[in-house]
Amino acid sequence: MKTLALMVFVGAFAVSCQSPQKQVNPEEARTIAKQAYIYGFPLVDNMRVQYAYFIDKNDPDYKAPYNILYNIPRVFTSQDKAIQTANSDTPYSWIGLDLRTEPIVFTVPPMEKDRYWSLQLIDLYTHNFDIPGTRTDGNNGGSFLIAGPNWKGEKPEGITRVIRCETEIASAQFRTQLFDPADLENVKRIQEQYIVKTLSAFINQPAPKAAPAIDFPKPLTPESQRTSLEFFNLLNFYLQFCPTHPSEKALREQFAKIGLVPGKTFDAASLSSEIKEALSAGMQDAWKEFEIFNTNEIKTGKVGSAEAFGTREHLNNNYMFRMAGAVLGIYGLSKEEAIYPIYQTDSEGQPLNAATNKYTLTMKSDEMPPVNAFWSYTMYELPARIMTENPINRYLINSVMLPNLKRNPDNSITIYIQHESPGKDKESNWLPAPNGPFFFVNRLYLPKPEALNGTWKPKPLVRVQ
């Protein structure tokens, strides 16, 4: 945010910048902290990933500086540890977006009509503010201008669409469908034709004066994000890049009562012990509410990825939905693009654990996930929520693999989900599980109406031992 805008923004909260413990009692502080944590978790966890990918050059998951596209000419494996619940279907191309100075233009080449591609645009809140791709724009190519909240320009010549982002920091990821291992060279050629330029470079004009460099604070670990009061200091830092949405003005004023003011330092050491305890309790209250929500709504199938991922308008300020999306699968696509039924329990409602159990998932031909692109089942170990190492280096079973899967006498397919091999005769259908707790995700890319309206239901996971 430009300096003048930041001064005006902070000035609006000047009345709330007194020492927090002088304004609120511990009970109120606890309530606000819980609300702020649920609201802020997606931002803080989003920037934990962005720090690894675009800021910390010593991180093993580092990709490239902001506004530079980084192509990954392979699918994700167990060696990719920064992001939870990544897919292993589509090679990614990643980019962090700093939209403070000027817009960024993505140019996409024409490609085969049957190859799925998408460019997921994710703001700092983790809203999917747009998704150019096969579904929305076809496969004939185009140039897409991504503008931050302060850009006032007009659509330049040669631009297919102008897309606006409400935050100044964002990220984006291309997904390019890989048909089979032999197709990787084709994917690489497509990735090499994804071109990213600043608007000034795209229209061949002098660049505007660059925004000041940002000294991003080091993030917390996933574990310490759950308990450390430094969480709120990080949230303050990130909120300076998020102009207040009109629907959240009163909410931000509430947050200011405990010292949550964009761009200000949240100094936990200066707080009274009673307020610190109240804020810590509020954080734990947020996690308790998440666990209740997960148990009663997500595990029962009442709420799924279709509700948890999407635009601001789609989420409609449901912050628990947004937090659940970030915890269980940050950067999930919007429902029109993909849905993600999650298997966290077996058919009897018991948690999944391959240290003591084996499981099967059987589907007839007309029971397979209904899609216009492709589907997959991907394995993740708990609690890390990353892919699990295994002797055959298989992290998923997807529809591309159907010709190589063995069929039952009735032409159905059984997937064997267990830690040890089910035997050479069944290994083609084996989805290896960790030697302990796990969950796995069914992904449906370009889901058909019956997947979205509930007519189709995921097949149950049956415990056989």
d(CA 332, CA 309) in angstroms, rounded, equals 6
Q: Give me the long-range contacts of 398-402 (CB less than 8 A, separation at least 24).
A: 398/89, 398/374, 399/368, 399/369, 399/371, 399/374, 399/375, 400/178, 400/179, 400/180, 400/374
Identify the pLDDT of residue 2: 40
In this prediction, residue 21 carries a pLDDT of 46
Interval 346-353 mean pLDDT: 95
Distance CA 119, CA 213 (A): 26
Tokens of 425: 């005769």
User: Distance between CA 445 and CA 456 in Å, rounded?
Assistant: 15
Of 318, 279, 326, 325, nearest in space to 304 by CA:
325
Cβ–Cβ under 8 Å, residues 145 and 159 = yes
CB 443 within 8 A of CB 378: yes
pLDDT at 113 over 60: yes
Q: Rounded to an integer, what distance in angstroms lies between the CA atom of residue 31 and that of residue 50?
A: 29
Q: How far apart are CA 41 and CA 235, in angstroms?
A: 8
The upper half-sphere exposure of residue 172, i.e. CA atoms within 13 Å in the direction of its Cβ, equals 31
Which pLDDT does position 5 carry in this prediction? 40
pLDDT score at 141: 97
pLDDT band at 23 (very low <50, low <70, confident <90, very high): confident
Structure confidence at residue 15 as a pLDDT band (50, 70, 90): very low
Average pLDDT, the chain: 93
* pLDDT (average), residues 166-179: 96
Residue pLDDT, tens place only, 40-67: 999 999 999 999 999 999 999 999 999 9
Q: Are strands 438-445 and 92-98 parallel, antiparallel or unpaired?
A: unpaired
Query: Which of 310, 371, 343 is CA-nearest to residue 462?
Result: 343
Per cent of the chain over pLDDT 70 is 95
145, containing H or E segment: strand 142-147
- Which percentage of the chain shows pLDDT scores above 90? 88
Residues 6+ apart with CB under 8 A from 4: none
pLDDT at 125 over 90: yes
- Return all residues near 85 (Cβ < 8 A) that are at least 6 apart: 328, 329, 330, 380, 385, 386, 441
Q: pLDDT tens across 281-336, in order?
A: 999 999 999 999 999 999 888 998 999 999 999 999 999 999 999 998 899 999 99
- The residues pairing with 164 across neighbouring beta strands, listed in sequence order, are 147
In this predicted model, which residue has the larger pLDDT, 15 or 261?
A: 261
User: Would you state the structure tokens that stand for residue 284, as one six-digit string?
Assistant: 């734990």
Contact 388, 440 (CB under 8 A): no
Among candidates 55, 57, 65, 67, which has minimal Cα distance to 100? 67
> Which segments of 241-272 does DSSP mark as H helices, in order?
249-256
Q: What pLDDT, on the 0 to 100 scale, is given for residue 19? A: 54
pLDDT at res. 83: 80
Phi, psi values for residue 249, rounded to 5°: -60, -50
d(CA 3, CA 263): 11
| The pair of three-digit structure tokens given for residue 197, joined into one six-digit string | 């330029």
**What does the DSSP 8-state code read for residue 373?**
S
Question: pTM for the whole thing?
Answer: 0.87
How far is Cα 231 from Cα 220, in angstroms, rounded to an integer?
Answer: 7
